[in-house]
């Protein structure tokens, strides 16, 4: 028997709003049969420990807390990723802004209806600094932020009551060098930060050719910097999303932690077979806990593309689901 959940009013916080579940939406656990609930831990374990550490649907990792009033405290983010400057880098380059927003809100509504106790916020993840194979004028192997594009998407997000994530691909820039390039935008109430770790390369390396590495201590510098920005500018609490798709890309991962004003989700962003993705999520997110988990789906590369129901069965349930 499915239990209808009293739909919450949309949360309009700092320009972004969670999408209200349908009136007949039932709680997440009602969407899984008893047999599915029994089998899920074994399916998600990927050869690891099949015992759940948190109940089905919980988003915080075991033993972690959220002391902020950030967007993940009561909500889930559903994001479309990319840049309008390239069709090959994600959904944002494949559709006009209006068509993209229509599709994003439809997908976000699916998640609000599936888990009405955690209404989903439509989120645009815009690549602000793009890694490239040529050094560029500063020798950093990244394209600088395009102010016109970023301002266009800040305005679009505000008009559509969506959240905007600015994603930095690092090249040879340090984490803090890249963060400071987009600092003015981060002071907007609906703008948050994402760090793409795989493109961080050293001397003699080229992003996209050589797999990068980032020290967790340097990521924490960015988290602390955003925390300080929030306090000094009287901003609402923020989020710093950290992308990782494989072992070893983030060194000293235990140095990364949330603060009183910044949430920190670790987003698994590998593509391919669903079983492999589930196993990697467990290894990188559940077994190396920071605070929240995130999960990326590749619409052209995943085989097969996992359904929202399959995604929310992960442990922990992703607080962020992004589509590329």
Burial of 247 (0-12, 13-18, 19+ CB in 10 A): exposed
Q: Is 228 helix (H, G, I), strand (E, B) or coil?
A: helix
Is 285 within 8 Å of 296 (Cβ atoms)? no
Strand-pair partners of 215: 251
- The rounded mean pLDDT for the chain is 90
Average pLDDT value for residue range 61-85: 96
In this structure, what CATH number is given to the domain that contains residue 258?
3.20.20
CA–CA distance from 2 to each of 5, 19, 27, 112, 114 (Å)?
9, 21, 8, 16, 12
pLDDT in tens, 169-216: 988 889 999 999 999 999 999 999 999 988 876 676 666 776 788 999
Locate 194 and state its tokens: 């994402």
Split into its structural domains, the chain has a count of 1
Strands (E), 52-141: 76-82, 120-131
Distance CA 143, CA 137 (A): 9
- Which structural domain, as residue segments, surrounds residue 282? 53-323
pLDDT of residue 188: 95
Average pLDDT value for residue range 88-105: 95
Q: Is residue 216 part of a domain?
A: yes
pLDDT of residue 7: 44
Q: Is residue 22 part of a domain?
A: no
Average pLDDT value for residue range 87-94: 91
Q: Is residue 302 part of a domain?
A: yes
Positive or negative torsion for Cα 307, 312, 315, 319: positive
Locate 172 and state its tokens: 């040879």
pLDDT in tens, 270-324: 888 999 999 999 999 999 999 999 999 999 888 889 999 999 999 999 999 999 9
Backbone φ, ψ for residue 101 (5° rounding): -65, -40
Average pLDDT value for residue range 148-161: 96
46 band by pLDDT with thresholds 50, 70 and 90: low
Helices (H), 10-96: 34-45
pLDDT of residue 213: 87
4 band by pLDDT with thresholds 50, 70 and 90: low
Distance CA 45, CA 324 (A): 25
CA atoms within 13 A on the CB side of 5: 21
287 contacts: CB under 8 Å, gap ≥ 6: 48
CA–CA distance from 70 to each of 182, 197, 223, 314 (Å)?
20, 23, 13, 22
């Amino acid at each position: 028997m499915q239990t209808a959940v009293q739909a919450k009013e949309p949360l309009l916080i700092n320009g972004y709003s969670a999408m209200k579940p349908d009136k007949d939406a039932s709680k997440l656990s009602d969407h899984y049969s008893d047999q599915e609930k029994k089998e899920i831990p074994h399916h998600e374990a990927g050869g690891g420990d099949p015992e759940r550490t948190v109940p089905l649907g919980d988003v915080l990792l075991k033993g972690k807390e959220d002391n902020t009033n950030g967007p993940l405290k009561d909500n889930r983010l559903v994001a479309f990723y990319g840049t309008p400057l390239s069709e090959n880098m994600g959904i944002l380059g494949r559709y006009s802004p209006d068509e993209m927003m229509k599709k994003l809100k439809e997908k976000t509504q699916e998640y609000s209806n599936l888990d009405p106790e955690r209404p989903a916020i439509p989120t645009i993840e815009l690549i602000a600094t793009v890694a490239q194979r040529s050094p560029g004028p500063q020798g950093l192997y990244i394209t600088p932020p395009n102010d016109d594009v970023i301002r266009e998407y800040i305005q679009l997000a505000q008009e559509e009551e969506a959240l905007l994530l600015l994603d930095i691909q690092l090249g040879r820039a340090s984490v803090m060098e890249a963060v400071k390039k987009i600092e003015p935008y981060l002071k907007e109430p609906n703008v948050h930060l994402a760090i793409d770790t795989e493109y961080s390369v050293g001397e003699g390396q080229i992003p996209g050719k050589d797999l990068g590495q980032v020290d967790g201590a340097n990521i924490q510098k960015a988290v602390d910097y955003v925390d300080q920005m929030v306090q000094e500018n009287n901003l609402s609490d923020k989020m710093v999303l950290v992308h990782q798709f494989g072992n070893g890309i983030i060194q000293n991962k235990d140095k990364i932690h949330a603060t009183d004003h910044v949430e920190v989700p670790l987003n698994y962003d590998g593509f391919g077979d669903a079983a492999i993705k589930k196993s990697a999520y467990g290894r990188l997110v559940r077994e190396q806990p920071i605070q929240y988990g995130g999960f990326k789906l590749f619409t052209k590369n995943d085989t097969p593309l996992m359904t929202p129901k399959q995604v929310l069965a992960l442990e922990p349930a992703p607080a962020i689901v992004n589509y590329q």
